[in-house]
Amino acid sequence: MNYYPPTTNTNTSTTVGIETNGFSTKNVTTTSNVSPLKKSNKINNNTILPSSTLGQILINEIKRIYHGLASSRSLEPSDSINTLFTELVNLCISHRDPNLARIVLKDPKIQKLTPHLRSLCATGEYLLERQWANKLITPLYDIPEFTYANNYKLLVRLELHALLGIGANLSHMIFIGSGPLPLSSMEFIWQSSNRNNNKETEGGGIQRIDNIDKSQEAIDVSKKLAIKYGLQDKMKFYAQDALEEFQGYEKADVIMLGALVGSNNQEKKEFLCHITNKMKSGAILMVRSSNCLRELLYSNTCQLVLEDNNGLEPLAEIHPQNEVVNSVILAQKI
This prediction has a pTM of 0.81
What is the average pLDDT value for the chain, to the nearest integer?
83
- What's the average model confidence in pLDDT over 129-150? 92
CA separation for the pair 95, 113 (Å, rounded): 19
Residue 267: what pLDDT? 87
More confident call, 71 vs 7: 71
Residue 38: what pLDDT? 41
Q: CA-based Rg of the chain, rounded to a whole angstrom?
A: 20
| pLDDT value at 15 more than 70 | no
- Structural domains of the chain, ranges and CATH numbers in brackets: 25-143 (no CATH), 158-333 (3.40.50.150)
- What's the average model confidence in pLDDT over 307-325? 81
Q: Indicate the pLDDT class of residue 49, thresholds 50, 70 and 90.
A: confident
Contact criterion met (CB below 8 Å) for 254 and 173: yes
More confident call, 211 vs 125: 211
The dihedrals phi and psi of 56, each to the nearest 5 degrees, come to -70, -35
CA separation for the pair 107, 294 (Å, rounded): 15
The SS3 assignment for 74 reads coil
Buried b (16+ CB within 10 A) or exposed e, 19-45: bbbbbbbebbebeeeebebeebbeeee
Residue 2: what pLDDT? 46
Q: What percent of the chain has pLDDT over 90?
A: 58
Q: List, edge to edge, every strand of the sheet that includes 208-213.
A: 235-239, 208-213, 172-176, 254-257, 284-289, 327-333, 312-318
